[in-house]
Amino acid sequence: MIRKIILFLKKNKQTIRITFEIFWILIFLLEKLGGEYSSSIPQFIYVNF
């Protein structure tokens, strides 16, 4: 069973990673939109170099 899960994870690594990332991006964006105490996205450090 565990071997099957590991195989599945290995086979779908890219899709799982993208889904995970999109999920958290959406959560953070929604939190940013909804909460008045939420912080804004900081400016890039490197932009002014």
Q: Given the rule CB under 8 A, which residues bind another protein?
A: 14, 18, 21-22, 24-25, 28-29, 39, 41-49
Shortest separation between residue 33's beta carbon and another protein, angstroms: 11
Q: How far is the CB of 5 from another protein (least distance, A)?
A: 24
For another protein, give the closer residue by CB, 4 or 46.
46
Distance between alpha carbon 5 and the CA centroid of its chain, in Å? 22
What's the sign of the alpha-carbon dihedral 19, 21, 24, 25? negative
5 or 35: CB nearest another protein: 35
Strands (E), 1-49: none
